[in-house]
Amino acid sequence: MALSVRLEWNGAPLPLAAPATAGLGVRLAGEPGAPPRRTTVELRPRDARAELSLRLAGGVLPFEASVQAGDLLVESVPPGRLRGAFWLRLRIDDLLLGGGRWRGVELDGQGQGRVTLAARPRPLAVAPLASFDPAIRAVLTGVSRLDGLAPDPWLREPLRQAKRRACLLNLLAVLRATDLLGRPAIGTLEELLRVAADHLQARAAAELYWLVSEAARLPDSPARQRVFDDFGIHASHKRALEQLSRDLGLPAPASFESFRFEGRPSLQIVFAIPAGVAASHLVDVDLDLGNPRQDLLGLVVHFGELFDEGLDHLALRPRLAKGPAGPFLGYA
């Protein structure tokens, strides 16, 4: 007894998969290992039967969504209360569903219904590999694997979430444009490990920690980008690096250190510091619209970011294109 929502792309089924933890959204069945995509389901009554279902439930009709056999199932809590005709709007991150419009659906006397929505991935055009800066090209053709794929084919797979692909390309461009004592920061990346919609986890040579630490100690100069030793690390960075260490079979980090770079947006690198001397560190890399160490405006903007839904890296591209990272962006 539920409303079954099926997605189709180019006339073929586009099956969904449930994440390991319920309530976090959905994944596409073809992107194993990817973080779940934020998902929202909205229902509005559109006939007398649906209005009656709502009144009998006390004016509020809770429902939950789950994934079965590749379809999204929407059912009332408790089950069996969805009856009649409704307007449905489904949103899944980086999928354009049914043109973004409300869609009429109908549930029969047993509370069962089915609807098929046309889905289209959010477009992202990646430049040919040969056109990338050599330092970025070396990362994209190295030993890294993302969701089981090498980085370059991963970037060109249309069903990989567009925000994740834009996030990787933006961060690689910013790291290439970031000068650390005469060397681009990207040169210290050894392996890309995970890419989310708003941050990157990687293995970096220990040289990166030394370069960033030294840059943070240098006196301010108009000719050099300032680097700030961060005064606090958000718990999400710590949790992500602790989980990554566990998944790789590594000891838990002994401590964490964070550095922020001058600019809007501002590059942040969080290091997982091991207990002993190590040739490499796990790092969590992201961009913030504001840098709380830079000025009062940066503090206000960053405080607001703590409560939003995460940075949309596709929407960030026009801003990055006007700055030092612009020549290294490899997509449109």
* pLDDT confidence of residue 21: 62
**309 falls in which pLDDT band (50, 70, 90)?**
low
Quote the CA–CA distance of 136 and 155 in Å, as a whole number.
Answer: 13
**226 falls in which pLDDT band (50, 70, 90)?**
confident
**53 falls in which pLDDT band (50, 70, 90)?**
confident
Crossing angle of helices 162-177 and 313-321, rounded to 10°? 30
- Whether residue 296 is predicted with pLDDT greater than 50 in this model: the reply is no
With H, G, I as helix, E, B as strand and everything else as coil, classify residue 10. Answer: coil
- Average pLDDT rounded to a whole number, residues 166-173: 98
**302 falls in which pLDDT band (50, 70, 90)?**
very low
- Average pLDDT rounded to a whole number, residues 55-84: 86
- Whether residue 57 is predicted with pLDDT greater than 70 in this model: the reply is yes
Domain-wise residue ranges, the chain: 3-121, 129-328
Quote the CA–CA distance of 201 and 207 in Å, as a whole number.
Answer: 17
* pLDDT confidence of residue 52: 87
Q: Please name the residue ranges forming H helices in 16-142.
A: 48-56, 134-140
Between 128 and 264, the higher pLDDT residue: 128
* pLDDT confidence of residue 9: 95
Lowest average pLDDT, out of 108-112, 139-143, 199-203, goes to 108-112
* pLDDT confidence of residue 236: 86
Q: Could you tell me which residues come within 8 angstroms of residue 177 by beta carbon, excluding any fewer than 6 positions away?
A: 184, 323, 324, 325, 327, 328
- Whether residue 301 is predicted with pLDDT greater than 50 in this model: the reply is no
**298 falls in which pLDDT band (50, 70, 90)?**
very low
* pLDDT confidence of residue 231: 66
Question: For residues 168 and 155, is the Cβ–Cβ distance under 8 A?
Answer: yes
- Average pLDDT rounded to a whole number, residues 72-84: 87
Lowest average pLDDT, out of 18-32, 50-64, 68-82, 180-194, goes to 18-32
In the numeric block, which tokens belong to residue 19? 């994440």
* pLDDT confidence of residue 77: 83
- Average pLDDT rounded to a whole number, residues 243-268: 91
**Cα–chain center distance at 132:** 23
- Whether residue 299 is predicted with pLDDT greater than 70 in this model: the reply is no
pTM: 0.88
Lowest average pLDDT, out of 52-61, 66-75, 154-163, 240-249, goes to 52-61
Quote the CA–CA distance of 282 and 318 in Å, as a whole number.
Answer: 30
Question: By percentage, how much of the chain surpasses pLDDT 90?
Answer: 61
Average pLDDT for the chain: 87
